[in-house]
Amino acid sequence: MIIILLGAPGAGKGTQSEILEDQLQTVHVSSGDLLRDHRKRGTELGKIAEDYMVKGELVPDNLVIAMITDRIAAPDADHGVLLDGFPRTLPQASALGDALSLKGKMVNSVVYVKVDNETLLDRLSGRWTCRNCGHVYHEKFAPPKVAGICDECGGELYQRDDDKRETAMKRLEVYFNQTSPIIEYYRERHILCEVNGEQPIELVTNDIMKCLS
């Protein structure tokens, strides 16, 4: 089973992907996590991608496509994949279809987690991350017990460049300009299902499972 989870930054795709990965026994493949891993390891891809990511812009298609198709080809992805944050453009969607077709596979279902723009901004601009363990907090929805200090390991909390409000606004503008056509692309293929992402987490999960069933 190949499932795509669509939604703007801050829509909750990562949270839902972790839940669904466990329930469906599929591999969660996040383009954002993969890119950040490349940046952390200082790979050539990571260095090229960094300039785009800190500005809130999309990484060029050819770089993301090469990374994703390589990950899908890994042995642990043979039993199913949950794609989070990919594809984001029509060329990516087309390239993904071609790559899967060569392996005798196809996208089975696409779930769009829909969230209001102002809610997305609130979610994105309030996120803080621990420098040591990577645990994520939110100053409004999930604050740490002590401001600036991680509850888990006592590490320093910082705000990623792409989580600052100005950059968050740019990220959302780029997302809706370039990714909205993807929604229609999959809708026309009758495999798209929309879910209200402003509900409590468990209700969003329930609605996604209804879509998949």
The verdict on whether 165 is a catalytic residue reads no
The verdict on whether 160 is a catalytic residue reads yes
Give the total residue count for the chain. Answer: 213
C-beta separation of 77 from 2 below 8 A = no
> Given 36, 71, 123, 127, which residue is catalytic?
127
Give dist(CA 21, CA 102) in Å, integer.
Answer: 25
The verdict on whether 88 is a catalytic residue reads yes
Residue 193, token pair as written in the block: 């299902």
> Given 39, 55, 114, 160, which residue is catalytic?
160
Give dist(CA 183, CA 89) in Å, integer.
Answer: 10
C-beta separation of 57 from 68 below 8 A = no
Give dist(CA 132, CA 111) in Å, integer.
Answer: 33
Give dist(CA 153, CA 62) in Å, integer.
Answer: 38
Q: What are the beta bridge partners of residue 197? A: none
For every residue of 19-82, DSSP letters joined together read HHHHHHT-EEEEHHHHHHHHHHHT-HHHHHHHHHHTTTPPPPHHHHHHHHHHHHTSGGGTT-EE
> Given 36, 71, 88, 123, which residue is catalytic?
88
Q: Which residue has the tokens 């888990």?
A: 152
Residue 190, token pair as written in the block: 């009758």
Hey, which residues are catalytic here? 13, 88, 127, 160, 171
